[in-house]
Structure 1
Amino acid sequence: MFGIHDLTLFVVSGLLLNIMPGPDSLLIMARSATQGWRAGCVTALGIGAGTMVHVLAAAVGLSALLATSATAFNVVKWVGAAYIVWCGIGMLRAKLRSDERAAAPAVTALPYRRIFAQGFLTNVLNPKVALFFLAFVPQFISLDAPNKPLAFLILGCIFNFNGMLWCNGLAVFTAFASARLKVKPRVALWLNRLTGSLFLMLGARLALAERN
């Protein structure tokens, strides 16, 4: 249907690729551990919105520009790397705050709109995600497909839906595991800072990334 083949293989491969750790997973886990499952799920929704931008861009051919133009790729790469590093620095600078409802201090919470924006921008400013869709999805579209952009869009939506299942599950699991283990605010703060350090390394890695 729609020129799509091996859909089961696509779904399984997509799930395995989503499970692989990366900046998206790290950000979800950091937010869930420090601010609860709602914050983790909001992060996941932001990431899903960013993924849809890549899917739509690839479906209409805009992502091909990143694959063929060194200038376009480098611009997006440097902006994305700078943003990831900026997020990492923000996590490293996180401090404890006094919670009026608890005797112990807690990590300063971010508003949900900022959490959503972080998830969205971390994903959408990563040109490697765009190149991934261009390389992965077309393998499951027949050469004689009547409408290749539509087939690409359908597969992209399936991939994103499966990714959202994983990301939201990861958010809930991390939050409840943190609560179960009774992670103290100071420990959560250092987990946040550890994630910030990893973001600095990921930003540097993205800055050094090549198109191929």
Structure 2
Amino acid sequence: MDFQIWQYFFITTLVVSLSPGPGAIAAMGVGLNHGFRRGQVVAFGLALGVWTQLLVVGVGLGALLATSETAFSVIKWIGAAYLVWLGIQQWRSPASPITEEQATGNQAATADPVHLRRSLFLRGWMVNALNPKGTVFLLAVMPQFIVPDQALAPQYLTIAATFGVVECCVMTGYVALASKVLGLLREPNQIRWMNRSFGSLFIAAGLFLASFKRAA
């Protein structure tokens, strides 16, 4: 891939990753409830979700989602329902301040169960993978950065690596930002308000995804 084309793709990817969406909400929600060290694993899951989307587009399944109303609707409603479910879970999160050990990931003071990491990783993956809007977006945008008369495999690998790394770094920043905000919250009412705010954003994102229609 030509370096100038890569620069344009990098800027596009950075803007997309920074824009508010389910991924950013998920990263900040996890940072709010689990701190940076515990919550950072969600960023890896979100990056894997992006790679899953790229794989779907790359093997041609994205075209099916773009042309088949049934396939698109099934994935859309599953993704929307999952976001609403995450919103309800966020609403119900305990309104207790995070401890310094949880925020810094001090293993001697606070255990970090493997199942929690797996759960947060899976959450991140599902948020990005179950988003047909992302697939349609990639179908529309990615071909603009592909040079047909050059080898396709290196170009796809460059795109995947760039998108994955940018998404992971940006989402890690969102986790860190939320965990810092959480460190300033000590009153249960403040934490409850934050949990409900993020929960409402999840539900709103789910409803927005449910209303999304593929282009005719």
Task: Tell me if both proteins adopt one fold, taking TM over 0.5 as the criterion.
Answer: yes
What do the CA deviations read for 1:166-187 (whole angstroms, capped 9, x no partner)?
11122223323432xx212522
Distance 1:99 1:74 in 2: 39
Contact 1:138 1:152 in 2 (8 A): no
Secondary structure of the residue that 1:95 maps to in structure 2?
coil
- Give the TM-score, by structure 2 length: 0.84
Secondary structure of the residue that 2:40 maps to in structure 1?
helix
Report the aligned-residue RMSD.
2.5
What stretches of structure 1 of length at least 5 have no aligned partner? 103-108
What do the CA deviations read for 1:60-84 (whole angstroms, capped 9, x no partner)?
1111111111110000001111111
**Residue 132 of structure 1 is aligned with which of 130, 137, 141?**
137
Alignment-derived partner of residue 162 in structure 2: 158
Secondary structure of the residue that 1:210 maps to in structure 2?
coil
Q: CA deviation at 1:6?
A: 1.2
Secondary structure of the residue that 1:36 maps to in structure 2?
helix
Q: CA deviation at 1:99?
A: 8.8
Alignment-derived partner of residue 211 in structure 1: 214
In structure 2, relative to structure 1, the CA distance for the partners of 1:193 and 1:98 (3 Å cut) is closer
* Alignment coverage as a number of residue pairs: 202
Distance 1:11 1:101 in 2: 36
In structure 2, relative to structure 1, the CA distance for the partners of 1:176 and 1:142 (3 Å cut) is same
Contact 1:5 1:140 in 2 (8 A): no
1:201 equivalent to 2:204? Answer: yes
Secondary structure of the residue that 1:144 maps to in structure 2?
coil
- Give the TM-score, by structure 1 length: 0.85
Distance 1:120 1:23 in 2: 11
Distance 1:96 1:154 in 2: 43
Distance 1:126 1:18 in 2: 14
Matches within 5 A, 1:47-66: 47-66=46-65
Q: CA deviation at 1:48?
A: 0.9
